[in-house]
Amino acid sequence: MSRIHLHLLSDSTGETLENIAKAAIGAFENVEAVRHFWPMVRSDVHLDRIMEEIAANPGLVLFTLSNHQLRRRLETRCRALGLPHVAALDSVTDALSNILGQETRNRPGRKHILDEAYFARIEAIQFTIAHDDGVGHENWEEADIVLAGVSRASKTPTSIYLANRGYKTANIPLVIQSPPPPALYSLKHPMVVGLTVSPERLVQIRRNRLLSLNQAPETSYVNLDKVQEELAFARRMFADNGWPVIDMTRRSIEEAAAAIINLFNDRVLAEGA
């Protein structure tokens, strides 16, 4: 069994880059690929921090960086470390062939690897839809990720996006008057992530939601004091349980999902260490 570290750097969510890496690895037999996922790389400071991790776990560096200065900096650092580095639109398969010392084998069954990934994604989507908004908590242990947050904190759209990336995701609304089921605090397999948002932004989102439903926009649901109380309740829960927190105030769904996937991958690597 050959073992290789793959470092995937993207200035966006990295979804395309991750799919390319999966497809290329599928062309080889008996390979354990340890993927290090680095999305949203947009500054020299961020890149320098990543390079420290790459130096500690040398391997193949695959990247999609549109900023030419950042790309040159990455290439220079990789050359200094003697590491192979390839833009994702270059021949990824050729680079893997060189570093692994084997040719790809075009034989029946290779496509089956990709088929399995497809069906796993469909299964993740089905699971996520069936476990939206606190439903099916008795099955949460089967999830990869559980998102928790107050109403309108973008739990459902983030869950669906993660499901499309192949992660079984459940989500639960945090309501002061209705505490979560005890199962939430005893989960072993899933990573629980708290979603939060600024009070002012949340009031705006909720008000727009009520207006879209032709409902009165002046209720306790959009009262700033009540909203702050809800958010404080959620933050205390996150802190008491040591759950990572993603602030959705200025993040798109794609950016939030990329950050969550990064946390998930770090957790998997830590557990395997």
Q: List, as residue ranges, the binding site.
A: 149-156
Whole-number Å distance between alpha carbons of 82 and 59? 10
**Residue in this structure with the two tokens 């034989």, named with its chain if needed:** 107
- Are residues 74 and 63 in contact, defined by beta-carbon separation less than 8 angstroms? yes
Strand, coil or helix: what is 121? helix
Question: Is the Cβ–Cβ distance between 39 and 31 less than 8 Å?
Answer: no
Strand-pairing partners, residue 195, are: 246
Q: Is 175 exposed, middle or buried (0-12, 13-18, 19+ CB in 10 A)?
A: middle
Tell me the pairing of strands 145-149 and 169-173. parallel
Residues present in the chain in total: 273
Order of strands, edge to edge, in the sheet holding 2-10? 31-38, 2-10, 60-64, 85-87
Residues near 143 by Cβ (< 8 Å), separated by ≥ 6?
A: 127, 131, 168, 169, 170, 189, 190
Give the chain's largest Cα–Cα span. 67
Closest-CA residue to 64 (of 5, 6, 18, 4) = 18
Tokens of 212: 């879209």
The answer to whether the CB of 246 falls within 8 A of the CB of 234 is: no
* Binding-site residues for ADP: 149-156
